Amino acid sequence: MNKGIIALCFLTCTMAYGQVLQSGLILPNNYEDEGICCIYAPSNGFTIYDQPNGEITGKLTRNAAQNTDNQSYYRIYFVDDRNKTETQIELENFWQIGYEIWALTYNERQNGFVKLKIENQNLWLKESEVKNMKFELVEWQTFLSDNAGKVLGFYANEPGLNLREQPNTSSRIIKTLRGDLHEISPTNEHIGLWTKVKVIIMKEHPCETELTEEENIEEILEGWIKILDDDGLPNVWNYSRGC
């Protein structure tokens, strides 16, 4: 293999791996703490920058003047220091990871900063501050793998996901996964945007069946799915509230 081919292979692998690292969730170090409610954020909020190594523009915080009633923990605002405005960030911009629990997500990383995935907003956090606030950046694949078995199940987004023998689109399709009778359990084995998974094909939905867990299993398969799309976002979903 000549040097040009080696360089091309290295670049391709780096780009694929880099995609995985660009997006994920911002979670407290102990995000299973029952005392933490609603939207995960430090009590004093996060400092917001207009770009990596840019100017401080304000705070992302619950401590807004208009956030006063008993639902305040379900609301976070961008408090803009430049024009003295408070803009509520709607819950649809967060990822629900549990019952009445949401997390901030990011979709870009540059020079020690991360960009929050919030529509029509250009909000950047400094990674060192995230760490100092006892929060951490958790890549999507790590989060999905770590929560396999802790949630009711992961299921393919519409219109479905192909379970393949190998982590590439040229590999043989074992089965096309659709709906919530195809329960996906991600492993810790990843290649680029692909993850090796175990899939349980069920006869009936576990929340609605009188069958035992063993009786309800129609088939168990293993293979690879493209668990993240080309934008680095999950191709799977789960019942965050359980049955």
pLDDT in tens, 81-114: 999 999 999 999 999 988 888 999 999 999 999 9
**pTM recorded for the entire structure:** 0.83
Predicted local confidence at residue 2, as pLDDT? 46
Predicted local confidence at residue 36, as pLDDT? 63
Predicted local confidence at residue 14, as pLDDT? 38
pLDDT in tens, 39-50: 999 989 999 999
Residue in the structure block whose two tokens are 């989060």: 143
Higher pLDDT, 239 or 178: 178
Q: Which CATH architecture has domain 154-238?
A: Roll (2.30)
The answer to whether residues 217 and 183 touch, using CB atoms and an 8 Å cutoff, is no
pLDDT in tens, 182-204: 999 999 999 999 999 999 999 99
Mean pLDDT of 209-227: 96
Q: 8: pLDDT confidence band, cut at 50, 70 and 90?
A: very low
pLDDT in tens, 173-182: 999 999 999 9
Delimit the domains of the chain by residue range.
18-139, 154-238
